[in-house]
Amino acid sequence: MDANEFRGLGHQVVDLLAEYLEHIEERRVFPAAGPGAIQQLFTEPLPQEPAPPQAVIGELETKVIPNCTHVGHPGYMGLITPSPSPIGVIADFICSALNQNVGAYSIGPAAVALERRVLRWLTDLCGYGPEAGGNLTSGGMMANFIGLKLGRDAVTRDRAQHEGVHENYAVYVSEERHVSIDKAVDAIGLGRNALRALPTDARFQLCLDALEAALAADRRAGIIPLCVIGLFGTTNTGAVDDIRALRRIADRENLWLHVDAAYGGGMLLSRQWPMRDRGLELADSITLDPHKWFYAPLDAGAVLVKDQRRLTASFGMRPAYLTDELDEAGERYQFYVHGFEQSRRFRGLKVWMSFKRYGARQIGDWIDGNVRQAKLLCALAAEHPEFEAACEPPMSAICLRYLAPGLAADEARRLHARVAQRVEESGKFWISTTELKGKSWFRVNPVNFRTRAEHMRGLLELLETEARAALREKA
């Protein structure tokens, strides 16, 4: 493909995507085709001969785009995957063309400098000082893994990373944690049984009394407390744990304090409901996901550390084949020496371009709009005799329950699942379901700058219609 062909094809793709974004609200949120039919579209042997670019783009138009979940649609309110900002989309196009590997300075000097600046912006947002650092990651899964590894290494004074884990340790978090915490406790060698999933209060915040009791019980049993994890925006309800109280406990017990703010970190940009006074800066490490509520395209997570020297202590290996002999002055920052990943996509570009194009103020306005939408839905449910909300939403996540008298727990679970399925089939919205304190709920989470108040009203009307229809079918 020469430059002219690339230019022509690129213009065609940009026109295609511009048309897609302009008319995204006219599409079904979720495809009508089932898994078998979609699988069949791509059932073919490995191509042996080249095809014309127009034919490849034609298949993209007929097979891929119609069968996507259109997360940029204003009716998508399910898992925390936001509408990607258009400038972020362009940034990923540029990123792929430049193909910089940010893991090593020699494969991306400007990319390394830019990414370090993005990390500085994020650490500043969290309230960290100049000694802080971090890494952009694939998302919260990797960031929570790194945060817990840092904690394991710090508390064991780096013995565990050399000798392995030979003692019984425990990690403490609320029952509302993300599953990445369970996986991280496993991945750092403690085993999932080392996780203490503790109860929450009526606002779904970690009960401090339960934490104190668990710590005391483990000490008596000869188990060593290692890390406590605070949640800054739970997946289900957006609850924020008492980070200051957790810091005091961590200091007393010699624990690492990690805070999962993958979702809630967006509230650091809020102007209507600011949350920069909740003690996030007291954490030893923080998970933040720009690809969630900063509206960056996937993937762009982040792990931030109060003292960047801990990154080097946990990951500072320099194999001979990566030694940079030209860096006599030690000025070439090597991300692979200060993080887990070596091959690293240029994730910082879309975050940098988003902040440069829209500014923190505009992104914060989008976030506040999503919070208003969740609060509106909560208010509408409070006025409706057939629905209740789990709690007043502090962020944009809200859980609603359909009140059907006399339904057993398993029947209520099936009803909520059936209604969510019918909502998906409608093509107008996409939501998920969840469990909170033994009850089934619809989980609604607008993280989309295209969503408007009318969509929240329309969603509740559809939930009412489908819930009543599901009850009639049951009868």
Q: What is the pLDDT of residues 362-373, one digit of tens each?
A: 999 999 999 999
Q: Given this model, what pLDDT does residue 328 score?
A: 66
Distance between CA atoms of residues 209 and 56, nearest Å? 60
Q: Which residues contact 240 (CB under 8 A, 6 or more apart)?
A: 205, 231, 232, 233, 264, 275, 278, 394
Asked if residue 293 has pLDDT above 90, the reply is yes
Q: What is the pLDDT of residues 379-433, one digit of tens each?
A: 999 999 999 999 999 999 999 999 988 888 899 999 999 999 999 999 999 999 9
**DSSP symbols for 175-213:** TT--HHHHHHHHHTTS-GGGEEEE-B-TTSPBPHHHHHH
Q: How far is CA 331 from the centre of its chain?
A: 33
Task: Tell me which residue has tokens 């999503």.
Answer: 370
Angle of helix 109-126 versus helix 348-383 axis, rounded to 10: 30
Indicate the pTM of the whole model: 0.95
Q: Given this model, what pLDDT does residue 407 score?
A: 86
Residue 80, both tokens: 């925390």
Asked if residue 475 has pLDDT above 70, the reply is no
Look up residue 363 and give its amino acid.
I
Distance between CA atoms of residues 126 and 53, nearest Å? 46
Asked if residue 195 has pLDDT above 70, the reply is yes
Burial classification of residue 222, based on how many CB atoms lie within 10 Å of its CB (0-12 exposed, 13-18 middle, 19 or more buried): exposed
Q: Given this model, what pLDDT does residue 317 score?
A: 84
Q: What is the pLDDT of residues 102-126, one digit of tens each?
A: 999 999 999 999 999 999 999 999 9
Q: Are the C-beta atoms of residues 29 and 429 closer than 8 Å to each other?
A: yes
Q: What is the pLDDT of residues 318-366, one digit of tens each?
A: 877 777 766 666 788 999 999 999 899 999 999 999 999 999 999 999 9
Per-residue buried b or exposed e for 319-357, using 16+ beta carbons within 10 Å of the residue's own CB:
eeeeeeeeeeeeeebbbbbbbbbeebbbbbbbbbbbbee
Asked if residue 456 has pLDDT above 80, the reply is yes
Look up residue 61 and give its amino acid.
E
